Structure 1
Amino acid sequence: MSIVGKLLANRRAGDQGLAWHRPNLVGADTFQMTSPDFDHESSLGTIHAGKRVGGQDRSPALTWSPPPAQTAQLLLVIEDPDAPTKTPFVHAVALLDPTVDGIPQGALAADDPVPGVRVLRSGWGRGYLGPTPIKGHGAHRYVFQLFALTEPITAAGGKPVESAKPHAILDAGRSLGRARIDAFYERP
């Protein structure tokens, strides 16, 4: 066990900071999200982990049932509430065309997004950042959250969406509905 992981074992950001709990993103309707790459509350494969821990930083494939009819845009957020930080670590933020009903594996790559997906800033840089929890810190949960927005987000925090920080993007949206699927990853 890593000494750093052991020292930080009881320090976790917690669920309360997740986008899921933001008042502006709590929607009245819900829809379903699934993944062919993992089941809800199961482990993510190494391919989805960060390169630093032997993975490929490849975002999992996701599919979802139709969002509410009035959806103007979809907001996808992936967060780690078990990070030893003040707030959950943001692994990806993307805006999607409301007609998109799923994304293939690797669709959240900053340099090669799929049509209908705008990959935005994450916790470090742009695009999907695979799990890289501290060795010895235990299993971390990765929360994949999809929000059906009432209006498209064109700017956030006084900046264009491409340069806005993740939390400014989360503050800018208003949700009609939402879907969620959770996964775990523990560094060997």
Structure 2
Amino acid sequence: MLEKLPEVIGHALHGMRAGLDKIVFNALGMRQGMASIALTSVAFVDHAPLPSRYTADGEGLSPPLQWADLPTETTSLVLLVEDADSPTPNPLVHAIVVGLRPSEGKLDEAAIPSPGNGGAAGLHVGRNSGLQAAWLPPDPPPGHGAHRYAFQIFALGGAPLFSATPGRDEVFNALREHALASGLLIGTCERPDGSIKIKEAAPAGPLAAG
């Protein structure tokens, strides 16, 4: 979405970032007293680079995720992925999935639809910042520095009704009313020199980088 910006613009916008304080996990204003969900991935560790297979420079698939330590009263889960460092007033939304069943405990690789990939059947996928019900692969501007992609999961109580393709505002309002617990996992991505190469770290599990 931003990879085609000239490198000189990326450098010029280096100081312009939405900020971690604006991701839903922090903007909810409910962290104190909320339970904590353990959100992890076998493909990358917290605050480490995302393997290229999950970005716009690779296959552009959604990464695998696992969660644990849910409150016993959890009825459903919401996944929200935002770019905390996008040069925009608010973080760019890369994925929304609502209605995840607590018993599943995971989301497999490529489960969320993405370009050229139909995704898993039965997922209730919301709108990303490209106005598509899909995974928007990370593609930070060249020269803008490292971007932090916040994978956020929320446990909900009750049964909020979502529209066919809920957006960030709709999800935010539902979370304010129904959120019981939350979890956060951050993956990074960077194009420091204007090339399409992305720094990679070895995966934390059995999946190999693309």
TM-score for the superposition, normalised by structure 2: 0.79
Q: Matches of 1:172 and 1:99 in 2, distance apart? A: 21
Helix, strand or coil: the match of 2:113?
A: coil
Note the aligned Cα RMSD (angstroms).
Answer: 1.8
Deviations 1:43-64 (A, max 9, x none): 00111112xxx22220110011
Runs of 4+ residues deviating >4 angstroms? none
Amino acid at match of 1:10: G
Corresponding position of 2:171: 169
Corresponding position of 2:48: 42
- Does the aligned pair in 1 maintain the 2:35–2:180 contact within 8 Å? yes
Shift of 1:115: 5.1
Q: Matches of 2:190 and 2:53 in 1, distance apart? A: 13
Distance 1:179 1:116, change over 3 A: farther
Q: Matches of 1:121 and 1:77 in 2, distance apart? A: 10
Corresponding position of 1:68: 71
Deviations 1:138-160 (A, max 9, x none): 110001010001123313xxxx2
Deviations 1:57-94 (A, max 9, x none): 20110011141111111000001110000001110000
Shift of 1:22: 3.1
- Does the aligned pair in 1 maintain the 2:18–2:85 contact within 8 Å? yes
Corresponding position of 2:9: 4
Distance 1:147 1:133, change over 3 A: same
- Does the aligned pair in 1 maintain the 2:133–2:165 contact within 8 Å? no
Distance 1:117 1:152, change over 3 A: farther
Count of aligned residue pairs for this structure pair: 180
Give matches, 1:8-47, under 5 Å. Answer: 8-23=13-28, 26=31, 28-47=34-53
Shift of 1:112: 3.2
Q: Matches of 1:148 and 1:62 in 2, distance apart? A: 15
Counterpart of 1:100 (choices 98, 104, 108) is 104
Q: Matches of 2:28 and 2:37 in 1, distance apart? A: 18
Pairing 1:129–2:157 present: no
Q: Matches of 1:49 and 1:62 in 2, distance apart? A: 15
Corresponding position of 1:55: 58
Q: Which runs of 5+ in 1 are unaligned?
A: none
Pairing 1:109–2:113 present: yes
Counterpart of 1:138 (choices 145, 148, 153) is 145
- Does the aligned pair in 2 maintain the 1:75–1:94 contact within 8 Å? yes
Q: Matches of 1:175 and 1:22 in 2, distance apart? A: 13
Helix, strand or coil: the match of 2:186?
A: strand
| Stretch moving more, 73-82 or 121-130 | 121-130
Shift of 1:175: 1.0
Q: Matches of 2:166 and 2:81 in 1, distance apart? A: 16
